[in-house]
Structure 1
Amino acid sequence: MSSRLLAISLSLVLTTLLPLGAHAANSATDSDNLLKLHQLRLAAQKSLGDFYMYNSMDGDQRYARQIEESVHDADARLAELTEMPGDGSKAMRAQLEQQLTAYESELKNLTTAMKTQGFTELQPVADLATRNQQLMALSSELYAKIQQESGQVVPPMTQQSREQSLLMQAIAVDYASRSASVGGTFIGSAAGDEKTIEDLVSQFAGQLNTLEKSPQNTAQIRDSLNGINTKWRYIEKSLKNYNENSVPFVVSKYSDSIIDGLEGVSAQYLAAKL
């Protein structure tokens, strides 16, 4: 082959490969954005639970630090959401930034009030819970929009395990809110719907059972899910009987551990494209 023909052939190969490389890079970015957005949702949801714990534990500073850590994590994940795949997701990301800023401002005001006054008024706390629900709903819409505009769909088992983490977080926040009732008034469900905590507990148990029975699970994933199940069984009764013996510290501690475990399982599913 002449030098000229060789050069033309190489040029054609490179021209073919470049779009493929660009597509692969975009897919990786979209997949990473979806993970970061999921982590943002967990952090934002957890910050509300941290506040309820701070309230119910009479301003215990460990929960003040946890609030700061959750807020920092949410901000960091938002900063990492860079290249959106389309105009719709770009607009939603801008809205999400505004919502998160407003939510964090309200959270800071209430944390300061708790620190300086030793108590918080009911209405601002209810408003904070509503703002958190709106933030979660918007981030869920953005999560769907990124997949729609990019064509990058989260693998089913990965998605199921992520949803399980969010459900565990919602249960923990709901439980903590009952312990932090302001003026004897229950704040409301973190799930943002009409489901009772009993419904959420039953849903979590059923979905965990489904995950455990998946034939796609590796030995390592089965071991991880077994450990998660053991921790879940430890707090399940307390969650169902929340009016009899409130143990918010135990539920908070174990739910954090369960979520960490689920996120580890989710990462394994994602790596295997399951």
Structure 2
Amino acid sequence: MKDTTLRLRSLVAPLIFLAITSMAVRAQEGANGFLADLHDFRVSNYMALDAFYRFSGTGNTETLNEIVQGINSANDAMNSLAESDSGVLSAEQLEALNQEFDRFKNLMRDNINDVRKRGYPDLRLVSDMANQAFTMNEKATELYEVAQESTHTATDPRVEAARSAAVKMAQMMAKYSVRSNSAVTQTFQGSSTEKPLDEQARELDALLGSVIQGQGTPELKAVLNDISSKWQFIRGSYINYNERNVGFVIDRYSKGILKGLATTIELLQGNA
């Protein structure tokens, strides 16, 4: 009888261990997915803002589609966060972020309608939207940090640096679009609480340095070299703004950096 009991215990113990391990893995995967959604939310909103500043000067349908794409992407991320059962953040915390997002979307809709009806933006309304975007994304960043601490998720420092670099790049793109767009540049310079572009560019230097340093596969090294080359090509334009700079080139290379950072994150996580 004792032998049977011991055998049962020896069988049950590994099963309990496997169950606990499986639950822990699923919890960590859920937490990582949660952080990825918060990251996508921040980048997508800045991309929508960047597209709006360009749209305000041209009324171009293609650029309007970029705004819609950015808002839809942020909306998908917000829905994924709200539907998550990971328990990383409280319902109240997520609802607070969603309310900030609703305000941003409403202001974006009103600004788009203004440009379509009048042919030019209402600078007061644009300023309200820029400040709301900054407030909303600061809230998202705060919740990102809370989520990291509450879940004790062991994320790769290079992944975190790449995510921070992507958010910084998207934020810089939006601010650069303000300065290079004739419809808004004369009296409006973006959010009143944002850092100057040259200061943000130097922060991006440090973040990219953290991402680029370290070992990696040949594929990863190739992507990082491409990011570095693109950044060196446009860095001077961000640090020393000049009206003669070609805005669409800066925009194209900045988007290339964002794409490269997204690939970098995938490769780093795949090698983890």
Q: TM-score, normalised by structure 2?
A: 0.90
Amino acid paired to 2:15 = L
The aligned counterpart of 1:78 is 78
Instruction: Tell me the alpha carbon deviations over residues 159-189 of structure 1, each in whole angstroms, 9 at most, x when there is no partner.
Output: 0111111111111111001123537213325
Listed as ranges, the gaps of 5+ residues in structure 2 are: none
1:202 matched to which residue of 2?
Answer: 202
Superposition deviation, residue 84 in structure 1: 4.1
8 Å CA contact retained: 1:42, 1:169: yes
Of stretches 25-34 and 248-257 in structure 1, the one that deviates more from structure 2 is 248-257
CA offset digits 1:102-141 (Å, max 9, x no partner): 2111101111111121111111100000110111111111
**Distance apart, 1:3 and its partner CA:** 6.1
CA distance in 2, matches of 1:23, 1:183: 51
Question: Would you say the 8 A contact 1:125–1:187 is kept in 2?
Answer: no
Gapped regions of structure 1 (runs ≥ 5)? none
Tell me the SS of whatever aligns to 2:243.
coil
Give 1:145-224 correspondences, 5 Å limit: 145-180=146-181, 182=184, 184-189=186-191, 192-193=193-194, 195-212=195-212, 214-224=213-223
Equivalent residue, structure 2, for 1:21 = 22
| Residue 241 (structure 1) shift | 3.6
Cα deviation digits, residues 243-273 of structure 1 (max 9, x gap):
3314222222221111010111122222233
Quick one: distance in 2 between partners of 1:209 and 1:17? Answer: 40
* Structure 1 residue 64: Cα displacement: 0.2
**Cα RMSD (Å):** 2.2
User: What is the CA distance between 1:4 and its match in structure 2?
Assistant: 6.0
Are the aligned partners of 2:127 and 2:188 in contact in 1 as well (CA < 8 Å)?
Answer: no
Query: Would you say the 8 A contact 1:201–1:240 is kept in 2?
Result: yes
Correspondence list, 1:1-274, <5 A: 6-56=7-57, 58-81=58-81, 82-86=84-88, 88-180=89-181, 182=184, 184-189=186-191, 192-193=193-194, 195-212=195-212, 214-273=213-272
Q: Structure 1: how far apart are the matches of 2:243 and 2:121? A: 25
Q: In 1, distance between residues paired with 2:180 and 2:243?
A: 12
Tell me the secondary structure at the aligned position of residue 230 of structure 1: helix
Q: In structure 1, how many angstroms separate the alpha carbons of the residues matched to 2:199 and 2:266?
A: 27
User: Percent identity between the aligned chains?
Assistant: 24
Do the aligned residues in 1 keep the contact of 2:224 with 2:264 (CA within 8 Å)? yes
* Deviation sequence 1:26-47 (CA, Å, 0-9, x none): 1110011101110111001111
Using a 3 Å threshold, how does the CA distance of structure 1 residues 90 and 271 change in structure 2: closer, same or farther? farther
Residue identity in the other structure for 2:203: Q
